[in-house]
Amino acid sequence: MPPKRRASSRQAPTKRLKQLTTAKRQERQDKITTPDTIISTSNLSLSLAFLAGWADVTSVKTFKMYSSMMTGNWITLTTRVASQDYTDISLLVATLAMFSLGFAIFRFVDNYLQQGVAKGKACSWFAFLVFGLMYAADYLILKDSTSRWPIVFVAMASGIINAVSSSRCHLVTNMMTGHVMTISSNVADYAFERKMLNANAPPLKLKQNTYVSIKIIGSFCSGAAMKIWLSSVLVNKAAAVWKFGQVGTMYMLLLVLSETTNMSSTLCSCTVLLSAVSLIGSCSM
């Protein structure tokens, strides 16, 4: 009779194989039982990139600051401190803090909801907060057009949106540097492997994430260009006043539809109605 030690060594791989098989079976079952949402994950990432370009152009034109790309704000803050120029130091610190707060709150609530009956519904909860924060920024700008402090509300909303992009799409949709690096790296690898490849080997293809990054960059630039074009075409005063409210409305609709499977649901219907009223009102008041 073989030693028990050898028997256990034979059984261990079998046990691990059963665990992997069970995990794969559960994963397939989850895909079957999880209904498709109105906006798929791939379309969500492209839509978030489009709105990120739109929001960044609006933020730069209004505040001369980015509300979603914190690298520039960190550079400005460091430069001001190093040169002992303390202009807008408190504003920069507040913007960085509010962005981080928005990101952290979404992550905390999302993790908490994953444990309960509202699993996967954090986007719907936060959609209306983003909507409110964007309109709050517009209201404060209306009260004092010279103040740049309303950016802290936009920054918090941007932190929430970036957390959504990270957790739902597993992509960064507001910064293009990483996507440019992905495309460049994959093209370089493709060129190298093609040169070194045996003539009888099957043809190579670019990695799938290359095309994803190309689409993200295209969507981001399209959103920025669309905002600039609309600003030149729409001279309506109301459309200029509620500029953040408009993008906040689109964010709200997008987040709710990304977690909704039935267009006729009460939440979806109310969100669509509120979005229509908000967009029409912001362009005609």
Mean pLDDT of 2-10: 50
C-alpha neighbours within 13 Å on the C-beta side of residue 132: 5
Supply the DSSP symbol for 84: T
56: pLDDT strictly greater than 80: yes
Tell me, what's the pLDDT at 270?
A: 73
Decide if 185 contacts 129 (C-beta within 8 A).
no
Residue entry with tokens 């790296």:
185
Indicate the SS3 state at residue 230. Answer: helix
Confidence of residue 31 (pLDDT cuts 50, 70, 90): very low
**Residue 228 CA to chain centroid, in angstroms?**
21
Q: What is this structure's pTM?
A: 0.80
pLDDT, one tens digit per residue, over 183-242 is 999 888 888 877 776 655 556 677 888 899 999 999 999 999 998 888 887 666 655 678
Tell me, what's the pLDDT at 194?
A: 76
Tell me, what's the pLDDT at 280?
A: 67
pLDDT, one tens digit per residue, over 99-111 is 999 999 999 999 8
